[in-house]
Amino acid sequence: MLRLDCLRSIYSELERCLVITIMGAVAAELQSLGHRPNFFYLQHAMGLASSTGLGLALCLPDQKVIVFDGDGSLLMNLGGLSTMARYRPKNLVHVVFDNESLLSVGGFPTATGTGTDLDGIARAAGVPSVSTVRSVESFTKVVKDAIHGNELTTIIAKVEAKERGPCLRKVGNWDPWSLRRWC
């Protein structure tokens, strides 16, 4: 499945969430669907989108927070999972787009392509709800359930290592490629 199709399938649900993304392709793809003032594209600080989301979720307990993470980013900050699990805010949804690649910087393979199991690591860290999805239908269901639910959730979405470049259209004054350059 393609990440852009996943993002499109839950885009309408994001209106009521604070949304944090990693840098690069994820940010550009989300922005290409239409920027909203509640979207924050964390630049440069690889691995720290989940920590940023954790801080926001703890400070704003009545606000649903959703983080769009990447496999390479999460692998740089595995300790973030145990901190998330320790505080387990009920209003945090952590989505990891696992394309087994550092796609935004040229597609170098990551350890999830050679056996590292992020689902297992999240469970062992103590995240109370963890799932892995491989179809857009399953993705839509688990993300909607998590947004409407009341439990810290990590969702590993196995996606193709493909960026939907041609789909990145300018939305108003916003240019997704300006975000794509800030890796």
Per CB under 6 A, residues contacting ligand TPP are 22-26, 44, 46, 70-73, 99, 101-105, 183
Interface stretch with Mg ion, choices 24-32, 53-61, 97-105, 113-121 (CB under 5 A): 97-105
Residue closer to ligand TPP by CB (options 71, 119) is 71
- Rounded to a whole number of angstroms, the minimum distance from the CB of residue 148 to ligand TPP is 26
- Tell me which residues in 22-81 interact with Mg ion (CB under 5 A): 70-72
Q: Taking CB within 5 to 8 Å according to partner kind, which of Mg ion, ligand TPP, none is near residue 26?
A: ligand TPP
- Rounded to a whole number of angstroms, the minimum distance from the CB of residue 25 to ligand TPP is 4
Taking CA atoms, 6 is separated from 75, 167, 181, in Å, by: 21, 14, 22
- Rounded to a whole number of angstroms, the minimum distance from the CB of residue 91 to Mg ion is 26
User: 115 burial class (0-12, 13-18, 19+ CB within 10 angstroms)?
Assistant: exposed
Cα separation, 13 vs 16, whole angstroms? 7
Q: Which residue(s) pair with 64 in the sheet? A: 17
Q: Which residue has the tokens 């505080």?
A: 87
Residue 142, token pair as written in the block: 């688990």
